[in-house]
Amino acid sequence: MLFGILLLALACNRVWTWYRLRHIPGPFWVSFSKYWQIKTQMKGDWYLDLKEVGDQYGKLFRIGPNQVMTTDVEVIRRMSHFKSPYTRGPFYQVFRYLPNQDHSFSLLDDAEHTRRRTILGPGYAGGPHLENCIDRQCSRLIDLIERKFVSTPTEYRPFDMTLNMILFTIDCIGDMSFGGDFGYLDEGEDTYRFIKWNEDFFYAAIVISNYHWLIKIASKPILNWVYPTVQSKHGIGKFIGLAIRAVETRLAATDKTRKDALSLFIDHGVSKQDAINELLVQLVAGADPVATAIRMTMLFLTSNPKSYDKLVAEIDDAIAHGKVSSPIKDSEARQLPYLQAVIKEGIRTFPVVTAPLFKKVPKGGDVIDGHFVPEGTEVGHNVLGIMRSTEHWGDDVEIFRPERWIEADEKTYDMMSSVLEIHWGSGRFRCLGRNVAGIQLNKMFVELLRRYDFSVAKPQASLKIVNSGFFLMSELDFRVTKRENLEN
């Protein structure tokens, strides 16, 4: 009898769930459970499947019992606006690394999030220290390439673009915030197995991000042993220990001359615990997207010889005319139009953060693209759909063509730039590491291409990509040779 009542209640709940959003276009079966979302994420095709469903059903489409996606840039801007009543969905809390403790990305409390962003902002803003950190790590990457990866006519020494780029970005975060790099670029190894942890955690993260209540259960004192511990020698646990040590050392230091992100956090009143959590989110949110952007842009460049040659010619010409220092300054890179076009086009063609970033519809509901969306519904960003929409980019949207940025008139250029910026989020949720990423990208291509020639080692064995909102990539070896007649 009880079982029958439970079954009936469940059936009523399913029908009601379907009914609430029945008018929003989308595949029928996705309305009843999160099966479709989990299946496509586990398969690793999330970003592609989302785009396909979006192409079929329009700018607002349903992907789950309470989840819809938007491909409308204006809607994302509106939801993220400083005065918007939208809030973050529970999705964000999955990214807590310590039980019941938040960083900027996991905070759901709006007022606290705004307060935290204000005091964190100066640490992320950039400035000479940040640029010095990135220069140091570029130089360590070059040193690693010189020692281990330069091929000659008699010897092939594969350069794994997937691994080495994330080693670079991880060491950048170390230098920028932890008081020094982590030694990842010393020998080109995942010393503390952070990348391995990320891969191992990938499938568990899919389940947790779809069933957020697991976070609440896991945060209870009796169960919070499932969280990583500072005693761990590897993975995120090791980095929690490193973050605690970095913050404690800095708080105790009498010499206050090192003005890196961490000291700027402390100077602006970020508490010890909040600083520890912020260091961790930098690592998880900051290392992978930049590494993915560099490796994919290098892949697009080497697959498009005209673009590759044009970029190298621009760099060589700027060096010959004394417009570029060694290492290149961020301000100098901003003056190289083709470089800027390549960076923009790389990210446009292959957006590197495709997580849904669900926002919650406020009290009273909202009307999106002509559909009423009831209160509490989660609205996500269909980033690939935006970056591959013919409305913004024209008919050759699938193609990597930096020239589209050069050819565009001023109005179109501004429109394209502002659509592209959506990739960093918008308004009060906008990426705090936007400047950091910009400087890394501005420097990396010049520092690599002024010294070396790159070719994909095995074009027939294509890069392996798994995506659940975040990427896992493997098997992208390049042959790197020294450029001839080099005067750089």
Using CB under 6 A, list all residues that contact ligand HEM: 80, 104-105, 117, 281-282, 285-286, 289-290, 293, 352-353, 357, 423-425, 429, 431-433, 436-437
Q: In angstroms, what is the minimal distance from the CB of 165 to ligand HEM?
A: 12
Q: In angstroms, what is the minimal distance from the CB of 42 to ligand HEM?
A: 22
Query: In Å, how far from its chain's centre is CA 182?
Result: 20
Beta strand spans in 328-401 (E) = 359-360, 366-368, 371-373, 378-381
- Between helix 434-449 and helix 161-173 the angle, nearest 10°, is 130
Q: Is the CB of 174 or the CB of 425 nearer to ligand HEM?
A: 425
Query: In Å, how far from its chain's centre is CA 319?
Result: 31
Query: What sign for the dihedral angle of Cα 390, 392, 396, 397?
Result: negative
Q: Is the CB of 373 or the CB of 480 nearer to ligand HEM?
A: 373
- How far is the C-alpha of 179 from the C-alpha of 131, rounded, in Å? 15
Q: Is the CB of 31 or the CB of 277 nearer to ligand HEM?
A: 277
- How far is the C-alpha of 423 from the C-alpha of 383, rounded, in Å? 7
Q: In angstroms, what is the minimal distance from the CB of 70 to ligand HEM?
A: 12
Q: Phi and psi (nearest 5°) for 310?
A: -65, -40
Q: In angstroms, what is the minimal distance from the CB of 406 to ligand HEM?
A: 22
Q: In angstroms, what is the minimal distance from the CB of 86 to ligand HEM?
A: 10
Burial 179-214 (b: 16+ CB within 10 A, else e): bebbebbeebebbbbbbebbeeebeebbebbbeeeb
Q: In angstroms, what is the minimal distance from the CB of 32 to ligand HEM?
A: 27
Give the count of beta carbons closer than 10 Å to the beta carbon of residue 2: 6
Q: In angstroms, what is the minimal distance from the CB of 5 to ligand HEM?
A: 41
Spatial CB neighbours of 387, under 8 Å, sequence gap ≥ 6: 347, 348, 349, 351, 393, 420, 423
Q: In angstroms, what is the minimal distance from the CB of 288 to ligand HEM?
A: 9
Q: Is the CB of 44 or the CB of 174 nearer to ligand HEM?
A: 174
Q: Helical H runs in 261-369?
A: 261-267, 272-281, 287-303, 305-320, 330-333, 337-349
Q: Is the CB of 359 or the CB of 479 nearer to ligand HEM?
A: 359
Q: In angstroms, what is the minimal distance from the CB of 381 to ligand HEM?
A: 7
Q: Is the CB of 327 or the CB of 469 nearer to ligand HEM?
A: 469
Sheet arrangement for strand 452-456: 159-160, 477-482, 452-456
Closest residue (Cβ) to ligand HEM?
Answer: 433
The pair of structure tokens assigned to 383 is 């980033």
Bond prior to 356 in cis (omega within 30° of 0): no
End-to-end CA distance of the chain: 81
Q: Helical H runs in 174-227?
A: 184-187, 194-210, 213-218
Query: DSSP class of residue 172?
Result: H
Q: Is the CB of 34 or the CB of 116 nearer to ligand HEM?
A: 116
Q: Helical H runs in 174-193?
A: 184-187
Per the CB < 8 A criterion, the answer to whether 322 and 487 are in contact is no
How do 452-456 and 359-360 pair as beta strands?
unpaired
Q: In angstroms, what is the minimal distance from the CB of 240 to ligand HEM?
A: 16
Q: Is the CB of 282 or the CB of 442 nearer to ligand HEM?
A: 282
Q: In angstroms, what is the minimal distance from the CB of 56 to ligand HEM?
A: 24
How do 60-62 and 378-381 pair as beta strands?
unpaired
Q: In angstroms, what is the minimal distance from the CB of 268 to ligand HEM?
A: 15
